[in-house]
Amino acid sequence: MTEWISSQPTPDPVAHRAAPLVLAAEITARLSTQLSHVRLHGYGSRPGPRRAASGPGGAPDGAPDGAAPTLVAVAHGSRDPRALPTVRALLDRVRALRPDLPVRLGHIELNRPRLADVLAELSGRAVLVPLLFGHGYHVTHDLPAALAAAPHLDGTVAAPLGPHALLVEALYGRLLEAGFPEAPDRSRTAVVLASAGSRAARAGEDTARLARLLSDRLGGVPVVPAFASAATPSVPEAVRLLTARGHDRIALAACFTAPGRFAAECAAHAPGAAAAPLGDHPALARLVLHRYDEAVARVPGHTPAPAHHRALAPAHR
């Protein structure tokens, strides 16, 4: 059995190779429509006094009327000490792409700052962008509940990061960094797409669609979704399935934002190349801004950001 040796991530390995993915355009439109009902306290909500919150320097924090809504990136959180610096590096890329946009980070659990604390400090308008990859419980319940508990804000929840063509590019780039061949033998090569997992059926559908998009990007190499918890198959089960089909060069694509327990457990079961979590991959930073822009554009009367300030998404999107 052939093993590929992982290499250190490079700043922007494959941003220039973005391939057209027509199916992803349909998915993006569907997600934008279906997520619109999640928006709470819309930007056109009832007028009235807002609680003036203060940031670390004592000045009012958040987005005042007429300013761009604050982008609140929502990470799950992890006890792994590498997780927080990795997410911060991703948001540094986001800020570099759009320097004038206020960007904050909040965690659902395990790390600080917690999302509830960040929302309490803000005023005006905010868009919560989940650094999560499907419509699991956190996206469909926890984030709307967090906005409901912050009635001083005009807020909305953006779509999760997957499935999307930019997410595929980030996964593809990390696979190449790990030693995955650019011209694989499809009769022997396969990929396990590892993610956290969810009991929500829609989250499983999102991952299945993402696997199909990644397979297309890899030229038809089989890609099987696998999960660290709450859903099946597990990574070892997916590996056995692919082995039974005659694939002896099996790599693992890690659909995780940052290092953590689930990412490490999945990588430990990889028989070949184990790609690194997506981290600060440039395509992921562009996707964060793309989801933010989608959410803001749903608001009636919104004035879009200038074209040169927008994240660079594939031309068909």
pLDDT for res 66? 65
Give the residue among 120, 126, 145 at the shortest CA–CA distance from 52: 120
Three-class DSSP category at 205: helix
CA 212/CA 163 separation, integer angstroms: 10
Range of the domain at 156: 25-162+281-306
Does residue 33 fall inside a structural domain?
Answer: yes
Structural domain total, the chain:
2
Quick one: 94 and 54 in the same domain?
yes
CA 106/CA 90 separation, integer angstroms: 13
pLDDT for res 237? 98
Does residue 96 fall inside a structural domain?
Answer: yes
Quick one: 143 and 33 in the same domain?
yes
CATH, residue 291 = 3.40.50.1400
Quick one: 137 and 167 in the same domain?
no
CA 222/CA 43 separation, integer angstroms: 44
Quick one: 50 and 125 in the same domain?
yes
Does residue 17 fall inside a structural domain?
Answer: no
Q: Which residues, given as ranges, of the chain have pLDDT below 50?
A: 1-60, 307-317
pLDDT for res 67? 86
Quick one: 31 and 75 in the same domain?
yes
pLDDT for res 64? 56
Does residue 274 fall inside a structural domain?
Answer: no
Residue 112 one-letter amino acid: R
Does residue 114 fall inside a structural domain?
Answer: yes
Quick one: 206 and 128 in the same domain?
no
Structure tokens at 74: 């929502």
Quick one: 86 and 205 in the same domain?
no
Dump pLDDT digits (tens) for 74-89: 999 999 999 999 999 9
pLDDT for res 299? 79
Quick one: 193 and 138 in the same domain?
no
Does residue 9 fall inside a structural domain?
Answer: no
pLDDT for res 274? 98
Three-class DSSP category at 73: strand
Quick one: 30 and 140 in the same domain?
yes
Q: What is the largest CA-CA distance in the chain?
A: 66
pTM given for the model: 0.78
Quick one: 158 and 287 in the same domain?
yes
Quick one: 69 and 179 in the same domain?
no
Dump pLDDT digits (tens) for 285-313: 999 999 999 999 987 655 555 544 444 44
Quick one: 107 and 235 in the same domain?
no
CA 317/CA 281 separation, integer angstroms: 20
CA 78/CA 80 separation, integer angstroms: 5
